[in-house]
Amino acid sequence: MGQMMRSSLLGVGVLLASLGSLFPLSTAQESKVSSYQGPNDHIMVVISGGTFTMGSPLDEPGRSDDEVPHRVRIPRTYAIATIELTNQQFERFLADSPEFARRWRAATAARFGNPPRLAVTPQSPQAAVSWYDAARYCNWLSAQDNIPKSEWVYPEDIDSDRGTELPQNYLHRTGYRLPTEAEWEYAARAGTTSAHPFGDDKALLPRYAWYDENSKDVRAHSAAQLLPNQWGLYDMLGNVWEWTFDRRQPYPQDSSVTEDSEDKDVRVSNEVARTRRGGSFTYEWFTVRSAHRGATTYFPNQTRASFGFRVARTMP
């Protein structure tokens, strides 16, 4: 285990206990999270569901028209990793999946060079992964945690050419998966309503996020080098874009509360875009906000040098 990860494991309890001194949290907000050590060195923050306003107000600087503010209820307790998946963590999966590893390395070299133009230190976030690659990793992680296959969120056989079909009850299953778009934003906000979890002053952004201004548009940086949000989550904004679970859909326009539940369309198709969140080291300040949704043209079979993910799961 790397020194940084060991320090994170030892310090996560202290971090979550001391965040109240860094941020003005209410007791209700503080009580929403706890943490546990998951498989493959994942530290998971456990978050109680709740209702929040997703999207951004009309006067938020940098907002896009697709960030329509609307109320969303997350009806479950879920866990999300404190950091984006690292190269070291992904390498363990590759070592355990030799045939997939051969195909993935060949495709990565063909697209990004050999060696690839990626951040390659062990604690850098893993990039150049498709939505399907993330799903495969999540299945592997579920196996590492001895979660029965009946609780896995993704099918065992994932065909990245033809797409795949999800189980109807996927958000009720306890296997590892990508966070839904609502879960991601709820976790990123950590109880806040401002553009960033630290407030609206973008002058503070370099303390919390790697984006084009402070990364110099070179490569992603090692995980957890900047400040976390109030719930102990690092790099929710910046570093690499993060795949989320959902297909790309417009937000509702009415004032009713929407429940974050399973999509009626459980088919994952390469013709239908999926969602990504958080901005990256190559993008401008206005993308590095809790509400920013990214473009509408990111399909599950695509890979990019600034695209990674973090794992989540529904808690039993």
Per-residue model confidence as pLDDT tens digits over 195-225: 999 999 999 999 999 999 999 878 899 999 9
pLDDT in the model for residue 19: 45
What does the DSSP assignment read for 3-35?
HHHHHHHHHHHHHHHHGGGTS---HHHHTTEEE
> Counting beta carbons within 10 angstroms of the beta carbon of residue 148, is it exposed (0 to 12), middle (13 to 18) or buried (19 or more)?
exposed
The pLDDT score that the predictor gives to residue 3 is 42
Nearest to 80 by CA among 214, 277, 287: 277
Residue 307 parent element (H or E): strand 307-308
Task: Express as a percent the part of the chain with pLDDT over 70.
Answer: 90
pLDDT at 252: 95
pTM score above 0.75: yes
List of residues 6+ apart from 207 with CB closer than 8 A: 198, 226, 227
Which of 9, 115, 108 is closest to 307 using CA atoms? 108
Residue 194 confidence (pLDDT) above 50: yes
Q: β-pairing, 78-81 with 258-259?
A: unpaired
- Cα–Cα distance between 132 and 180 in angstroms, integer? 15
Distance (Å, whole) CA 67 – CA 117: 32
For 105, phi then psi, to 5°, come to -65, -40
Query: pLDDT for 9-43, tens place per residue?
Result: 434 444 443 444 344 443 334 457 999 999 999 99
Q: Which pLDDT does position 28 carry in this prediction?
A: 37
Indicate whether 53 pLDDT > 80: yes
- SS3 for 229? coil
Q: What is the per-residue pLDDT across 99-112, written as a single tens digit (0 to 9) for each? A: 999 999 999 999 99
End-to-end CA distance of the chain: 28
> How many Cβ atoms sit within 10 Å of the Cβ of residue 166?
20
Predicted pLDDT at 21: 37
Question: Which range (24-33, 35-44, 159-168, 252-261) has the least confidence?
Answer: 24-33
Distance CA 118, CA 112 (A): 8
Average pLDDT over the chain, rounded to whole?
91
Distance of CA 269 to the CA centre of its chain: 20
Mean pLDDT of 4-13: 43
